[in-house]
Structure 1
Amino acid sequence: MNILIAIDRFEDALTSQEAASYVEEGVKAVHRTANVISVPLFDGQKHLIDGILAWQQGTKYTWKIPDANMKRRDVTAAAMNDRFYIDCSDLYGQTENMLQTSSYGLGQMLLNGLDLDYRVFTIALGETALFDGGMGMLERLGAQFYDLNEEKLAGPLDSESIKKVRRIDLSGLDDRLSESTFTVISDYDYYLFGNKSQIAAQSLPDEAKTKLDNQIWYLNEQFKKTGLYLSLEKGGHAGGLRALFESLFHARTLSSKEMIFEETSIEELLNEADIIIYGGGNVKPADNSLVAQALTQKVSSDKRFIYLAAGQQFAPPDHSVYYLNIYPDMTPETDSMKLGIQLQNSIQTLLNIAR
């Protein structure tokens, strides 16, 4: 019997790897001779680096990098073969002041990768609160921004600097960027500005939202003067970073699901499995992750699909999936060990019943 464990994270209580280890212990207590394969998942929102390194050997780098509010924090990147991975949730997932943000740190991360001789980059935009339109990143990479008096703006530049911009010069961008290829991981199709933008979805006063929205609109008008036209309908993730990478660096954009199925052997493992155990957890009401949705689409009568959820993650729509919410009262304070033991006990009980 082949059993595949492809379980997602449970908020910040358990990573995919941690959750899978508890489930695997429960599985082996029932099916001692089964071939159990545990697949660590990762997404474009959190835990990209650890997930990637769990799949294959690579190198981890940690640097002190300025976050969205220019406070230095430890940020980790990964490299495998010729590809360099950056997870923006490490940089921009805990923004304190959303009215004055800078992507300067991402520019530094890219320079670090270039200096290490990498030319293939994967950048997960993740759960970012960043609204400078990529201005800080471009400045760090060599672009220059000028004010009304044709004086160069002194950096590091942030969203508050946008109103001073009258001319943008992209000719000084690091030459190595033209030799590089980029993949952006984004699960959000935000508009660049307007009612469907990422700014509109923030918990901010209307006045603050209007200010940020106008700044992104204005910067986009300045980009147009350089011949750079950003995607308005789907490029607004990370305050326009997605559109900037797509337009300026011709980046390819993938969802978390597409990335996992492309970079791992999960498709082959899924075809060989007799039992597939998957799921995840959310504190707030939420649909399944894109990866979980993709696995549900593979449901067939010759396999048994078991979905373990927690908190307020909705059940998969396919009624042929065995669904169990193992911890409905999950909160941000839920003890990770309690959650893990509940996962272990639940799958052990379910498999015993099914025998």
Structure 2
Amino acid sequence: MNILLSPDSFKGTLTSSEVCDIIESALRNIISDCNVIKLPAADGGEGLCSSFANSNEGEWISADAKDPFGLSLRAEYYMLKSGAAVIETASCAGLPLAGDRADPIVTTTAGVGMLIRDAVNRGAKRIILGLGGSATNDCGAGMASELGFCFLDKNNNSFVPVGGTLIDVERIILPEKPFCVPVVAACDVTNPLFGVDGAAYVFAPQKGADAEQVELLDRGLRHMADVLKRDLNFDSENLPGAGAAGGLGAGAAAFLNAELRSGIDIVLDESGFDKLAADADVVITGEGRFDSQSANGKVMSGVCRRAIKAGAKVYAVCGCASND
């Protein structure tokens, strides 16, 4: 019997690789002669690099970056042998790094820009940027600042905007040398940039914002949408995923011409999942908590959809299930 394992991480408990190992051990106690293929998955957040590392040759790169508050740290990304660099926003701008000081009014994606620049300087031919798990709401302005974009206020003073100061951006000056490396951004949500379903109202409270701050952040994102449309000829209003990672989805598309795609589909495409699923008798996926969000672009929904299409039976292992 051929069994393909492709679970998500059990957040805060087990990585997707550890989940694979546990399921494999349990299976071999029951079916001693089964052929188990492990393909740890991710949807764009924490674990994206490890997912690629488990199914692709390459090397881990350690580079200088900045944490959500602009302080120096070392962060890792994964450079595939093919020349694609896999970078997680969470590795330098993630919510766990902010800890109990989480505050999307002041956090920055500058570290993301530093990792992208490092990868390009090392010869990366393509960037795969995971957008999940951020502590930020700066529309990617911090990232863009590290890649040569200049933001001016009404007095023509340059500054690096954060969530609370997006409203002060008067003009954006493009870098002398355009960013030319292809970028695909792995999204785990399809939310718009602003509005009741946008980055601020839906996700900022999880990052430490109160009601008054949420309103300020949303106004900043609306303002940035106008500035991006005027200065970069970029329309973010109807872009699914623009609100991912505090507007980094819109920022990646506007500043880097990134293609926004479902994170789990990127992972499954790059790992050859469809062929493996077609050869499998059973596919087992899973996640820490199964709830209403599990069907919205998350690992389990992507694995189930494509495994069923390939003709495999699908089972799920979950830490807990909710009726919500």
TM-score scaled by structure 2?
A: 0.86
More helix by share: 2
Q: 1:172-223: CA deviations, max 9, x gaps?
A: 3x44x22x10100002122211111121013232211111111122222222
- The 5-angstrom pairing of residues 139-154 of structure 1 reads 139-150=145-156, 152-154=157-159
Residue matched to 2:298: 290
Q: 1:93-147: CA deviations, max 9, x gaps?
A: 2242211122211111111111111131010101223122222222221122223
- Sort the Cα spacing of 1:291 and 1:65 in 2 relative to 1 into closer, same or farther, 3 A: same
* Long gaps (5+) in structure 2: none
Task: Tell me how far apart the structure 2 counterparts of residues 3 and 10 of structure 1 sit (CA, whole Å).
Answer: 20
- Structure 1 residue 157: deviation in Å? 4.0
Aligned 8 A contact 1:228 1:248 in 2: no
- Structure 1 residue 224: deviation in Å? 2.8
- Sort the Cα spacing of 1:135 and 1:126 in 2 relative to 1 into closer, same or farther, 3 A: same
Residue matched to 1:337: none
What letter is aligned with 1:249?
A: L
Task: Tell me how far apart the structure 2 counterparts of residues 84 and 209 of structure 1 sit (CA, whole Å).
Answer: 33
- The 5-angstrom pairing of residues 128-139 of structure 1 reads 128-139=134-145
- Structure 1 residue 314: deviation in Å? 6.7
The answer as to 2:278 corresponding to 1:276 is no
- Structure 1 residue 86: deviation in Å? 0.6
- Structure 1 residue 275: deviation in Å? 2.6
Task: Tell me how far apart the structure 1 counterparts of residues 318 and 251 of structure 2 sit (CA, whole Å).
Answer: 36
Task: Tell me how far apart the structure 2 counterparts of residues 285 and 295 of structure 1 sit (CA, whole Å).
Answer: 16
| SS of aligned partner of 1:207 | helix
Q: 1:243-273: CA deviations, max 9, x gaps?
A: 2322343322211231122101221121111
Task: Tell me how far apart the structure 2 counterparts of residues 25 and 308 of structure 1 sit (CA, whole Å).
Answer: 14
- The 5-angstrom pairing of residues 282-321 of structure 1 reads 282=289, 286-287=293-294, 290-297=298-305, 298-299=307-308, 304-312=313-321
Q: 1:300-326: CA deviations, max 9, x gaps?
A: 9x85433211123679xxxxxxxxxxx
Task: Tell me how far apart the structure 2 counterparts of residues 303 and 167 of structure 1 sit (CA, whole Å).
Answer: 53
Q: Which of 98, 105, 112 pairs up with 2:111? A: 105
Aligned 8 A contact 1:287 1:313 in 2: no
- Sort the Cα spacing of 1:306 and 1:68 in 2 relative to 1 into closer, same or farther, 3 A: same
| SS of aligned partner of 1:254 | strand
| SS of aligned partner of 1:19 | helix
Task: Tell me how far apart the structure 1 counterparts of residues 169 and 287 of structure 2 sit (CA, whole Å).
Answer: 45
Residue matched to 1:92: 93
Please tell me whether Structure 1 or Structure 2 has the larger radius of gyration of its CA atoms. 1
What letter is aligned with 1:309?
A: C
TM-score scaled by structure 1?
A: 0.79
Answer with 15-24 or 159-168: which moved more.
159-168
Task: Tell me how far apart the structure 1 counterparts of residues 313 and 137 of structure 2 sit (CA, whole Å).
Answer: 45
Residue matched to 2:44: 44
Identity %: 21
Residue matched to 1:82: 83
Residue matched to 1:247: 254
Aligned 8 A contact 1:104 1:157 in 2: no
| SS of aligned partner of 1:84 | strand
Residue matched to 1:158: 162
- The 5-angstrom pairing of residues 230-241 of structure 1 reads 230-233=235-238, 234=240, 235-241=242-248
- Structure 1 residue 5: deviation in Å? 1.9
Task: Tell me how far apart the structure 1 counterparts of residues 200 and 314 of structure 2 sit (CA, whole Å).
Answer: 38
- The 5-angstrom pairing of residues 12-31 of structure 1 reads 12-31=12-31
Two-structure CA RMSD over aligned residues (Å):
2.5
